[in-house]
Amino acid sequence: MGIRASAGIRAPAGIDWLVSAVGEDVALSFLESVGGQRIQVPRTAEGSRLATLYGVDVASALSAEYGGLSVKIPVRKKWRILAVCAGHHSDWTGPDPD
């Protein structure tokens, strides 16, 4: 079972483009898998190892933003916790993410 998030928890700067491109659930799953690690982003997503591991949508978004570069994927722990908690608890009243 994948991570289930809740719309309404604003993605922080630095990953908002990824959330816009692939959706909150997919972005959360990707960050849970590789957050804090450095990865090589292919210039072209299709047929890449990144696409095989994380899906064409994630690979395409990363290639469009960082194609050909080595990038450290942000952790964004506070946002991940808030988004996941809000997705599982409709009465979440915690603070807004920074």
- Token pair, residue 13, equals 């700067």
pLDDT in tens, 6-22: 556 777 888 889 989 99
Tell me what the mean pLDDT of segment 73-96 comes to.
Answer: 69
Domains of the chain, by residue range, sit at: 16-86
Full-model pTM: 0.74
Tell me what the mean pLDDT of segment 31-48 comes to.
Answer: 94
pLDDT in tens, 57-71: 999 999 999 999 999
Average per-residue pLDDT in the chain?
82
Angle CA 87–92–89, to nearest 5:
40
In angstroms, how far is CA 7 from the centroid of its own chain? 14
- CA atoms of 19 and 27, how far apart (whole Å): 6
For tokens 């599982």, the residue is 88
More confident residue, 60 or 76: 60
Q: From residue 9, how far is each of 28, 32, 73, 91 by CA, in Å?
A: 12, 17, 20, 13
83 closest CA partner among 1, 17, 12: 12
Q: What phi, psi does 40 have (nearest 5°)?
A: -90, 125
